[in-house]
Structure 1
Amino acid sequence: MTSGTTSVDEARNALGKRLRELRVAAKLSGKQLAESLSWPGSKVSKIENGKQTPTDDDIRRWTGATGAEDQAESLLATLHNLETQHAEWQRVLKAGMKSHQLTLSQMDERTKFYRSFENTVIPGLLQTPEYARSRFAQVVMVHKVPNDINDAVRARMQRQEMLYMPDKRFYFVITEAALHYRLVPPEVMIGQLDRLMAISTMRNVKLGVIGFKTQYATDPRHGFMMLDDFLVRFESYSAELNLKQPHELELYASIFEHHAAVASYGAAARTIIGRVMEELAAEADESGA
């Protein structure tokens, strides 16, 4: 895999290559195919070169125009697998944020070991209702999706019940930066930090904090979650990405271990959290004076 290329890119490129092969076999130029489908001239090239993801209708019309209707179902299956890997938020959240939380719950049931690294936000499974409410409000603002914040918060809190299941293990590593970022009001963040204090003492939850003065082994580029050894999930502004390729799983497991190795735990982690709580409380006192 080349630098900057993910399995999602590779899958989209592979799909484009298969569609190009059908066009060539039908002895059609890109321009001829586009004209027969009443498409802009650039659309065929974009799809074939992995620059644009085709829709179900695009696949059906392409196979029809190239006399390859028998290939349609196989190509649609490839497309739907690609959509699962690269789940755009506008599509994922069109039924509401609660619906997405329930979808995640289905995968929760089969997962026994969670590993989560976060560099900017508190992981969803550790959020207080107030912190989660603020985060969901930001989702509504950014993505213009249905406002079902109350239902989404309740669904997230229900998901957190699995933290107390004895057959599951959780390993969270967060950066000190995530404790400082002003993503929620100060009073909400103080409550969230208090929640982290309590979580750090749970039997089947391991919580590590990487302090500002810690020397990293590798850069904290973005947050991600590993579900057992079968899935890596992380979020971009536009989509939720789900990676399943063995080499990707191995890479992210290694990165998690690098971050986990330099984190502070137990009393040392609580010292960092407590220091941030004191700073926030002092600011709140000053603003209220």
Structure 2
Amino acid sequence: MSTDYQQAREALGARLRELRFSCPDGRLTGQHLAQRLDWPGSKVSKLENGKQTATPEDLRAWADATGQPDVYPELASRLAGFESHIRSWRRALANGFKPVHESLSMEIDRSTEIRVWEEAVIVGLVQTPEYARHVIRRYSDLLGPASDVEDAVRARIKRQEWLYQPGRKLHVLLWEAALRSLICPPSVLAAQLDRLAGLIGMDTIELGIIPFAASVKIVPANGFWVLDDRLVVAEDWHAELWLDDADNIALYMKVWQTLRESAVYGADAANIINAARRALNSH
């Protein structure tokens, strides 16, 4: 659970405690409130101390039981605000890149099916070490120098062991731009494209490419991962978002399916990769 998320949960708990103290018919003890709500006394304590995430029903019951039903919309808004786990890059990278990679790796290890969309970079789970090194260094240049780039590269490559475990399936969608973005030297990209072409037909990977010329029903932007229909991880320049509420997961799945309609697979995907590979000869 992210630090930002936990801080938001604790702030909501403090607000709930304020409502218990300011009850119109007199300050309530935690035990008295629990009795009104027919809850275990420990639940009141956990909610107030940020040890348990409230549901919308919990918040409505709390507002009603403290005689302040009008405050429910505020509480619901606070809850909605941290359904997105915002992992600030500045904070997350304070200890280097490796812990960030390991955090996502733990979620990947828990997953059996992963869907990834990337519009401008090759997916980390299929990157070569040299390509990964250049990508991580680019982020290090932007977000602040890191001393553990090589540790991060090793962590990213180790993550790829997931692909070779029984019962796993990776669905990758790439925009053609990802095949041509020179975020690394042409020779490094060439090796990466060779690796990508070699994955076509592998039983644990489904690789789709959206050609530049394809008709698309949605703007091909904003890379994201969907893990087992239980978690979405999306990156922005300032932060990484971890979304685990049903509505957001359903939205990202709809985006995925819409993008998928424009993709080509198999030999057609290989042709696009090979064309991008040949284009590197001019560099």
Q: Check whether TM > 0.5.
A: yes
Q: Matches of 2:109 and 2:130 in 1, distance apart?
A: 25
Which deviates further from its counterpart, 80-89 or 104-113? Answer: 80-89
Deviations 1:100-143 (A, max 9, x none): 22222211221000000111111111111111001111122111
Report the counterpart of residue 155 of structure 2 in structure 1.
Answer: 155
Which runs of 5 or more residues in structure 1 are unaligned?
1-7, 28-68, 284-289
Structure 1 residues 16 and 276, CA gap change in structure 2 (3 angstroms): same
Give the structure 1 partner of residue 249 of structure 2. 249
Alignment-derived partner of residue 208 in structure 2: 208
- Residue 146 of structure 1: CA displacement? 2.8
1:33 maps to none
| Equivalent residue number for residue 180 of structure 2 | 180
Query: What is the rounded CA distance, in whole Å, between the counterparts of 2:218 and 2:265 in structure 1?
Result: 19
1:105 is the counterpart of 2:81: no
Inter-CA distance 217–164: structure 2 relative to 1 (3 Å threshold): same
Q: Name the SS for the 2:161 alignment partner.
A: helix
C-alpha distance in structure 2 between counterparts of 1:76 and 1:201, whole Å: 45
2 CA distance for matches of 1:70 and 1:215? 51
Map of 1:171 onto structure 2: 171
Give runs of aligned pairs for residues 3-152 of structure 1, distance below 5 A: 19=15, 22=18, 73-74=49-50, 82=82, 85-152=85-152
Q: How far 1:261 sits from its partner (Å)?
A: 1.8
Aligned mates of 2:240, 2:232 — CA distance in 1: 10
Matched, 1:220 2:220: yes
Deviations along 1:127-162, one digit per CA (max 9) or x if unpaired, are 111110011111221111532111111111110011
Shifted more, 82-91 versus 95-104: the winner is 82-91
CA RMSD of aligned residues (A): 3.3
1:232 to partner: Cα distance = 0.6
- The residue type paired with residue 94 of structure 1 is A
Alpha-carbon distance between aligned partners in 1 of 2:163 and 2:47, rounded to the nearest angstrom: 45
Q: Higher mean Cα deviation, 190-199 or 84-93?
A: 84-93
Percent identity reads 32
Q: Which residue of 1 aligns with 2:74?
A: none
Read off the aligned partner of 2:134 and give its amino acid letter. Answer: S
In the superposition, the TM-score normalised over structure 1's length comes to: 0.72
- Partners in 2 of 1:70 and 1:163 — Cα distance? 39
CA contact (8 A) 2:13 2:50 kept: no
For residues 64-89 of structure 1, give each alpha carbon's deviation from its aligned partner in whole angstroms, at most 9, with x where no partner exists: xxxxx997513896899949700001
| Displacement over 6 Å in runs of 4+ | 75-81
The structure-2 alpha-carbon separation of the partners of 1:83 and 1:130, relative to structure 1 and needing over 3 Å to count, comes to farther
User: CA, structure 1 residues 146+84, in 2 after alignment: closer, same or farther (shift >3 Å)?
Assistant: farther
Q: 2:230 is matched by which residue type in structure 1?
A: F
> 1:52 matched to which residue of 2?
none
Q: Give the Cα separation in 1 of the matches to 2:209 and 2:108.
A: 24
Matched pairs, number: 234
Question: What is the Cα deviation at residue 94 of structure 1?
Answer: 1.5
**Is this contact kept in 2: 1:90–1:145, CA < 8 A?**
no
Segments of 5+ residues of structure 2 without an aligned counterpart are 24-44, 55-77
Structure 1 match to 2:29:
none
In structure 2, C-alpha distance between the alignment counterparts of 1:22 and 1:197, rounded to whole Å = 59
Shift of 1:20: 9.9
Distance 1:71 1:264 in 2: 49
Deviation of 1:187 (Å): 1.0
Does the C-alpha gap of structure 1 residues 229 and 76 become closer, same or farther in structure 2, counting only changes over 3 Å? closer
Report the CA distance between 1:18 and its aligned residue.
7.3
Aligned-partner Cα distance in 2 for 1:239–1:130? 25
Normalised TM-score (structure 2): 0.73
CA distance in 1: counterparts of 2:84 and 2:191, whole angstroms:
35
Quickly say closer, same or farther: Cα 1:22–1:179, change in 2 above 3 A.
same
Paired position in structure 1 for 2:196: 196
